[in-house]
Structure 1
Amino acid sequence: MASEEANVVAKHPIEHLIDQSKYSKRVLMKTILGRSDRGLGLVGKRIIIGGWVKLSKERGGNIPPGATGRSTVTMAEDVTCWEIIESRIPHFLRSIVRVFIGDRGRPHGKPTDINIPAKNLPTVAYLLLNDGSCISSLQVVVHSSEAPISKISPIGTCILAEGVLKRPSVAGKQVIELEVEKILHVGTVDLAKYPLAKRRLPLEILRSYPHLRPRTTAVASVTRIRNALTHGTHTFFQNNGFLHVHMPVITSTDLTDRSDTFQATTLFNKAEKIEDSNVMNDHGAINIEVVRAAIKEKSNRVQELQRSNSDKEALLAALWDLQKTNELALQMEAREKSSPRTSFQVGKVDFSEDFFSRQVYLTASSQLHLECYACALGSVYTFGLTFRAEKSHSSKHLAESWMVEIDMVFADLEDLMNCAEDYLKFLCQQILENCSDDLQLDSKRIDKASIDCLGSITSSSFERITYTKAVELLNEVTDKEFQTKAKWGINLAEEHERYLADESYKKPVIIYDHPKEVRPFYARLNDDGTTVATMDIVVPKVGTLIRGSQREERLDVISRRIVECGLKQDQYEWYLDLRRHGSAGNSGFSFGFDHMVMFTAGLHDIRDAIPFPRTSGQLIC
């Protein structure tokens, strides 16, 4: 067999003039279809491609070269009678037929040769294959002599095939197609259970299948856009002298309201082990719940014997057994009441017994930790997960989200705003240049204005207004009634920010110098004593994408702010050390990466912007 395959390769060597995937020896479809001539210049080249069937058609087609009007079919090795019948049944009826017929009609044992009129069978399958490397699909022509048509044509089937590129034999939208000469792999699909067999499922339905939805054109397109944004992020910061630093996910610093944080603990595991160790009591009996269940069972036995009145000795024995079991239950209940209860039972947790011997959380922000490295290395950035336990079903909230955070030393608020504006413009330009096909698809199916929005960001200068001016502008609005009145001293609501970006200025707006009461303790206090050096960048249609601040470098001021905010200073002694030992004026921001994907792709729900969304009460895989 090995020598035979070697001869095939020797006679028909794979074309090496086309760039192959380095580790799989196949050719990515974007290498073919992404050319300016859409692959026409590659006609006659032999390649291996792999992908998933997006669409298929079956036709009688031309009889494969060398075949006669009648073809010999080998049962149980090539095409069985059942497969012949199956190939004549429309796709949507095959799963129903299988339910009633099952494997009947499928031959077992020694193969048998039969003659079948080739003209009565679908001899050619025209498959549109996509491998995820680009939005376009490649037409692949497979003759029944290479594989059973019924096995390769269902939507979702995975195929690895070798063949020659040629001009389409049938006129249509395709510029080039692959004439398959050898099928190397087929991953079949169970049509009765495959949820993506229907075309154009809404995004909200696809959320129920996060493990399969990347195979859809829309979600694959969003994923490529997300990849381009990731690449653009690293490119921008690396080109501007930033160092990438990994930050911890577990932290003892709680920067948010504790009701909105995920707690990390091993105490529940310990409690389970304690309970498991107390399963058997001193009498060798099982725990109290099991004893109570036994009492119920023994009582039923006693009642049954009393009704029959046939075996008095058995009744006496059952009564004695029931009495002893009741006594055991009373003893266990008394011991349970008198024994010390665990800290979980009384609602108090002794964190000194926990893994870290203290209370710790999943991080909601890496800003404080990042500052440690900025004070040693200069400009740094991190790209990682953050967690918020807010029980919200908002279309813009995730429990687990990706955040880009930066910190720059010797930089003030104006420097920070300039960096943030340049970063956003760079990302939008990168997407427009490198994801045009995906943007075109998203603009057709999701949001027609998405491309124009990206273009407007790259071409316009961001409006910069103080928080005080923003409140004044909102209070002057007469053509719209807000659900929450904008007044000085409160956080601006999303409806306020969106109005400023979408209606007032119709472009991104940077709002800066917020009241100190609504911003973190580490934001630098301004000379007026009431505002801090903070900034938010609000983008049309999405809202706030970036929040940042100039950090407070004065030890006495930040110590006072910690007290004002009701925080425990001992938790922040390590952070205060940065002020005690060679402090540097620095600034940083946090960038909601998933929100940027949502904005770029024109999505309406952030759950469609992330591969595996985690929200309150929803975690499928």
Structure 2
Amino acid sequence: MTSKTVTELLSQDATLQDVTVKGWVRTFRANRFIALNDGSTINNIQCVVDFENLDEALLKRITTGAAIHVTGELVKSQGKGQSVEIIVKTLEVLGDSDPETYPIQPKKHSFEFLRENAHLRTRTNTFSAVMRLRSSLSFAVHKYFNENGFNYMHTPIITGSDAEGAGEMFKVTNLDSKNPPLNEDGSVNYKEDFFGKETNLTVSGQLEAETYAMSLGKVYTFGPTFRAENSNTSRHLAEFWMIEPEVAFMDLAGNMDLAEAFMKSVLSYVLENNREDLEFLEKRLLDEEKSKPQAQRSEMSLIEKIKFVVDNNFKRVSYTEAIDILKNCKPNKKKKFNYIIEEWGADLQSEHERFLVEKHFKCPVILFDYPANIKAFYMRLNEDGKTVRAMDILFPGIGEMVGGSQREERLDVLKEKMKALDIDEKELWWYLDLRKYGTAVHSGFGLGFERLVMFATGMGNIRDVIPYPRTPQNAEF
């Protein structure tokens, strides 16, 4: 008999048919009722056993966390909360289970404790829901780009360039750390290293993606990126995943159109396909909000926030207009912001971005034309000489979600910007070649995937939306 998933069984009518299912015991009550879950759904299926027909030694092995194989009759449930249940005919405990040491007991655990047991935390409802949503969002990303003519590109993880100019990168080397080869001036001689030069783990696939966009037209990357930033905030990881489309012959307006359509598409997908998980996470979030002071509570539920993005047109506002709004708003004048906006050129913080979205415009916002001195070298300089064709998309509850720009396609201007920032032309000769041979307007954006998962799940810490978080002093599992 073919084994069924819990999802398949719960979607069937009670037809008194014999079924078989495998999963993990969530609870075992009164030596009679097993709540069984196999990860296919947030819901458990109830398996009813006749303990008098079970061996006492077998009963002792049916504990929380045990893997079991059940065969029985699918019938209409006699209890509340489920439409069908299984009257067990045969039950087999698969492998070993130690109830004395199993850490994920049927009670509330702190997220900190669950991070210490990340290999088992998806046995809980919260983390199984989060990871199913992560999987669905990942599929929706590929689905959107595939249906819209994009080519999927795998950019290098090991790189000799720093796309962001941040300098906070992980070195990749096979030199002897205790006795590396040295130059005459005492510096490390990386010519003796594996790649013959200094290399690092990538912070972005953008620059390489640009090269492919200028031949394939529309490409995207979706892969791991790394930053050696010594930060322990709830928004930072040392290893995370980035989504980066690049499109030839597309200007900033087209880039904004693409980003808005993309965000609405992937979020619509989970609304349609992960409703039960979203409803569970929404309830969890509402329960969590009750413990907060009224002023700190969110005005929208989780599903309302997602619909807020899907159902509203994104408001497009220049950075200059946004600064004027923020300078003159009540929170700024009454010094309620942690970072007071005093003049044009300020780097906006999450509190400013959320004010624009949640209080002022009451819809998602796309800010564009930022000051050149707070943005990356590759962004196209506007005719005013002080702003660049950059854009950020702002969401409720989280602030910046997407960052992108029209790329600088003019060779002379790009060289001047690189010189001003002391970026060596020799290191990016291939990037400059794009401006020599068939140069054209092109644009793209970047989206940190974990930030998207945080928004869609309502989780407050980025460590809880990636299977095994990599943070300072932590590379467990």
Say whether the fold is shared (TM-score over 0.5). yes
Match of 2:372 in 1: 516
Sort the Cα spacing of 1:552 and 1:511 in 2 relative to 1 into closer, same or farther, 3 A: same
* Mapped partners of 1:577, 1:146: distance in 2: 74
Note if contact 2:364-2:396 (Cα within 8 Å) is conserved in structure 1: yes
Note if contact 1:259-1:390 (Cα within 8 Å) is conserved in structure 2: no
Match of 1:531 in 2: 387
**1:304-383 aligned within 5 A:** 343=182, 348-383=187-222
Match of 1:596 in 2: 452
Write out per-residue CA displacement over residues 388-431 of structure 1, whole angstroms, 9 at most, x where no aligned residue. Answer: 11111111111111111000111000000001011111122111
Match of 2:7 in 1: 30
1:608 aligns with 2:464: yes
Q: CA deviation at 1:591?
A: 0.8
Q: Identify the match of residue 229 of structure 2 among 390, 398, 401.
A: 390
1:142 aligns with 2:49: yes
Q: CA deviation at 1:586?
A: 0.8
1:479 partner SS: helix
1:405 aligns with 2:244: yes
Q: Which amino acid aligns with 1:235?
A: K
1:164 aligns with 2:79: no
1:221 aligns with 2:129: yes
Match of 2:170 in 1: 262
Q: Identify the match of residue 408 of structure 2 among 552, 561, 586.
A: 552
Match of 1:179 in 2: 87
Where in structure 1 are there 5+ consecutive unaligned residues?
Answer: 1-13, 15-24, 60-124, 275-340
**1:83-98 aligned within 5 A:** none
Q: Identify the match of residue 416 of structure 1 among 235, 255, 260.
A: 255
Sort the Cα spacing of 1:507 and 1:187 in 2 relative to 1 into closer, same or farther, 3 A: farther
1:153 aligns with 2:62: yes
Sort the Cα spacing of 1:153 and 1:411 in 2 relative to 1 into closer, same or farther, 3 A: same
Q: Which amino acid aligns with 1:44?
A: L
Further displaced range: 421-430 or 174-183: 174-183
2:30 partner SS: strand
1:464 aligns with 2:316: yes
Q: CA deviation at 1:524?
A: 0.9
* Mapped partners of 1:377, 1:444: distance in 2: 45
Match of 2:289 in 1: none
Q: Identify the match of residue 356 of structure 2 among 500, 521, 542.
A: 500
1:202 aligns with 2:110: yes
Sort the Cα spacing of 1:550 and 1:252 in 2 relative to 1 into closer, same or farther, 3 A: same
Where in structure 2 are there 5+ consecutive unaligned residues?
Answer: 287-299
* Mapped partners of 2:202, 2:315: distance in 1: 32
1:51 aligns with 2:28: no
Q: CA deviation at 1:149?
A: 4.8
Note if contact 1:387-1:400 (Cα within 8 Å) is conserved in structure 2: yes
Q: CA deviation at 1:478?
A: 2.5
* Mapped partners of 1:257, 1:424: distance in 2: 27
Note if contact 1:53-1:155 (Cα within 8 Å) is conserved in structure 2: yes
Sort the Cα spacing of 1:175 and 1:194 in 2 relative to 1 into closer, same or farther, 3 A: same
Write out per-residue CA displacement over residues 163-197 of structure 1, whole angstroms, 9 at most, x where no aligned residue. Answer: 221234x5443322112222344233222221111
* Mapped partners of 1:31, 1:195: distance in 2: 29
1:47 partner SS: strand
* Mapped partners of 2:414, 2:444: distance in 1: 16
* Mapped partners of 2:81, 2:319: distance in 1: 54
* Mapped partners of 2:285, 2:161: distance in 1: 40
* Mapped partners of 1:259, 1:579: distance in 2: 25
Note if contact 2:14-2:76 (Cα within 8 Å) is conserved in structure 1: no
Q: CA deviation at 1:156?
A: 0.8
Note if contact 1:535-1:548 (Cα within 8 Å) is conserved in structure 2: yes
* Mapped partners of 2:187, 2:166: distance in 1: 16
2:473 partner SS: coil
Sort the Cα spacing of 1:171 and 1:575 in 2 relative to 1 into closer, same or farther, 3 A: closer
Match of 2:327 in 1: 475
Further displaced range: 546-555 or 254-263: 254-263
* Mapped partners of 1:342, 1:588: distance in 2: 41
Q: CA deviation at 1:615?
A: 1.1
Match of 1:485 in 2: 340
Q: Identify the match of residue 426 of structure 1 among 249, 252, 265.
A: 265
Q: CA deviation at 1:262?
A: 1.1
Q: Which amino acid aligns with 2:264?
A: K
Q: CA deviation at 1:545?
A: 0.9
Q: Which amino acid aligns with 1:409?
A: A
Write out per-residue CA displacement over residues 480-519 of structure 1, whole angstroms, 9 at most, x where no aligned residue. Answer: 4222233322321222222222222222111101111111
Q: CA deviation at 1:213?
A: 0.2
Count of residues in Structure 1 that have an aligned counterpart in Structure 2: 457
Q: Which amino acid aligns with 1:219?
A: F
Note if contact 1:152-1:159 (Cα within 8 Å) is conserved in structure 2: no
Q: CA deviation at 1:343?
A: 4.2
* Mapped partners of 1:503, 1:252: distance in 2: 43
Match of 1:453 in 2: 305
Q: Which amino acid aligns with 1:369?
A: E
* Mapped partners of 1:525, 1:256: distance in 2: 17
* Mapped partners of 2:340, 2:33: distance in 1: 61
Note if contact 2:181-2:189 (Cα within 8 Å) is conserved in structure 1: no
Q: Which amino acid aligns with 1:484?
A: Y
Higher share in helix: 1
* Mapped partners of 1:347, 1:520: distance in 2: 32
* Mapped partners of 1:214, 1:163: distance in 2: 27
Q: CA deviation at 1:449?
A: 0.8
* Mapped partners of 2:279, 2:330: distance in 1: 37
Note if contact 1:132-1:220 (Cα within 8 Å) is conserved in structure 2: yes
Write out per-residue CA displacement over residues 216-275 of structure 1, whole angstroms, 9 at most, x where no aligned residue. Answer: 0000001111111111111111111111111111110112355421111111xx245x6x
Match of 1:277 in 2: none
What is the TM-score with the length of structure 1 in the denominator? Answer: 0.71
* Mapped partners of 1:369, 1:517: distance in 2: 24
Q: Which amino acid aligns with 2:272?
A: E
* Mapped partners of 2:37, 2:380: distance in 1: 52
Sort the Cα spacing of 1:468 and 1:423 in 2 relative to 1 into closer, same or farther, 3 A: same
Q: Identify the match of residue 132 of structure 1 among 26, 39, 48.
A: 39
**1:62-77 aligned within 5 A:** none
Sort the Cα spacing of 1:30 and 1:531 in 2 relative to 1 into closer, same or farther, 3 A: same
Sort the Cα spacing of 1:239 and 1:554 in 2 relative to 1 into closer, same or farther, 3 A: same
Note if contact 1:51-1:131 (Cα within 8 Å) is conserved in structure 2: yes
Note if contact 2:66-2:93 (Cα within 8 Å) is conserved in structure 1: no
